[in-house]
Amino acid sequence: MADGGDRRMIPKDMKGLLRISSEIADPSNANKTSEEVITQMDPERKEFLEKALSELNTDPVQRMKACIHVIKNTDDSEDGVDTKLSALEEILDWCGQIDFAIDFHKIGGFEILPQLLNHEESELRWNCLEVIAEIVQNNPYCQKAVLEHGLMPVLLKMLDTDSNNTVKTKALYALSCLARDDPDSQKKFVELNGFSYLMRAMQTNVEKLQVKASFMLRGMCTSNPEFKDTLCDIGMVEQLIGLVQQDHNQQHEHMMNALLLLVTNHQRAKQIAQKSEFKLIDFLQQRIEFLKGKEEFLEESEYAQQILSIMKQEEDTSTAIR
């Protein structure tokens, strides 16, 4: 054959797929009949292979169209909600591939998003947010589509006001995927005062929100250091200092890292942190001493030491100037 392949290895049915799989796993199976292979195969492996063959013969676009139709036309009874959730989960599976995520938009999939984002059932809301996060991740086409459909303000509002913490966390996840390495989404985020939403998320007592907000903050400032000016304008430096000075907890590692990012190579942020009312140098020295010998807080201690070094340099510079 021109391509060097062996067409006998291409499975035409379940028996063929099972036989090839079993021969690869155990060459001795080559001497067995297909019926013997199937009989002796582990049930979980058999189920996996049956699903794999089924997917080989499935048209993803037609399946997504069917799921969209189900979501649009199914009632909101308990069974109806379960049916919608199943359809959403299948859409999520398909949209893990960029081409299918683009197809989802092209076949009108975005029409169901407002219905789901405003649904009274929280599980439908956060599963819909999971789909949005999946389709925009590293996907400029869908990032642009989400902006054009005006979904960013909806995501910000859900982050800020939804009654369910999982929904809030998924909204933040979707925003993070949307704004990651996408200048247009980042610009829109700033226009909508998105950093203030992040700051409020960090003020909550929801651990996942605090951590994800800190990660998004660091990611955006790393990709565009000019955002540090905006963060200084809204009081983020003061906010982070206040957060790390509260009773110690696991989340302080992320807050300390975010504070380090802001004061690194940014004069205005350093000057804010240097204000006497914060007594930041004294606090950092105390925190470093408190963390000594605690291996689980090693990274936080390192961040604190780096901030302390920056603060002392700034203090020495200020003293020299005076």
Q: Return the ∠ at Cα 152 (arms to 146 and 154), rounded to 5°.
A: 115
d(CA 178, CA 2): 45
What separation in angstroms does the CA of 53 have from each of 41, 57, 92, 106?
Answer: 16, 7, 20, 27
- What is the rounded average pLDDT of the residues 294-317? 92
According to the model, what pLDDT value does residue 288 have? Answer: 97
Q: What is the pLDDT of residues 239-261, one digit of tens each?
A: 999 999 999 999 999 999 999 99
122 contacts 138 by C-beta, under 8 angstroms: no
CA distance 35 to 309: 71
100 neighbors 121 (Cβ within 8 angstroms) = no
Q: Which residues contact 154 (CB under 8 A, 6 or more apart)?
A: 114, 117
Q: What is the mean pLDDT of the chain?
A: 88
Say if residue 103 is exposed, middle or buried (CB neighbours under 10 Å; 0-12, 13-18, 19+): middle
* Averaged pLDDT for residues 264-278: 95
Residue 86 in this model has a pLDDT that exceeds 80: yes
Q: What is the DSSP string of 43-108?
A: HHHHHHHHHHHHHHT--HHHHHHHHHHHHHH--SSHHHHHHHHHHHHHHHHHTTSHHHHHHHHHTT
Specify the 3-state DSSP secondary structure of 234.
Answer: coil
Domain boundaries, the chain: 11-57, 60-192, 205-322
Distance CA 271, CA 311 (A): 9
> Would you place residue 58 in the very low, low, confident or very high pLDDT band (cuts 50, 70, 90)?
confident
Which amino acid makes up residue 237?
A: V
Check residue 315 and give its pLDDT. 76
The pLDDT of residue 56 is 57
Are both 60-192 and 205-322 of the same fold? Answer: yes
Ramachandran area for residue 128 (φ above 0: left; ψ -120 to 50: alpha; else beta)? alpha
CA gap 182, 184 in Å, rounded:
6
Tokens 């929801």 -> residue = 206
pTM recorded for the entire structure:
0.80
**Per CATH, the architecture of 60-192 is what?**
Alpha Horseshoe (1.25)
* DSSP state letter for 13: S
Range list of H helices, the chain? 14-25, 34-40, 43-56, 60-73, 78-94, 98-106, 113-117, 122-136, 140-148, 152-161, 165-179, 183-191, 194-203, 207-223, 227-233, 236-244, 252-263, 267-273, 280-291, 298-321
pLDDT of residue 44: 79
Q: What is the pLDDT of residue 39?
A: 67
Confidence of residue 224 (pLDDT cuts 50, 70, 90): very high
4-32 tens-digit pLDDT: 444 344 444 555 555 545 554 555 555 55
Which class does domain 205-322 fall in? mainly alpha
Per-residue pLDDT tens over the stretch 43-57: 776 677 666 665 555
304 pLDDT band, cuts 50/70/90, is: very high
Instruction: Give percent above pLDDT 90 in the chain.
Output: 76
CA proximity to 178, closest of 150, 206, 211:
150
Q: Is the pLDDT of residue 111 over 90?
A: yes
- Write out pLDDT tens, residues 142-179: 999 999 999 999 999 999 999 999 999 999 999 999 99
Q: Mean per-residue pLDDT for 296-312?
A: 97
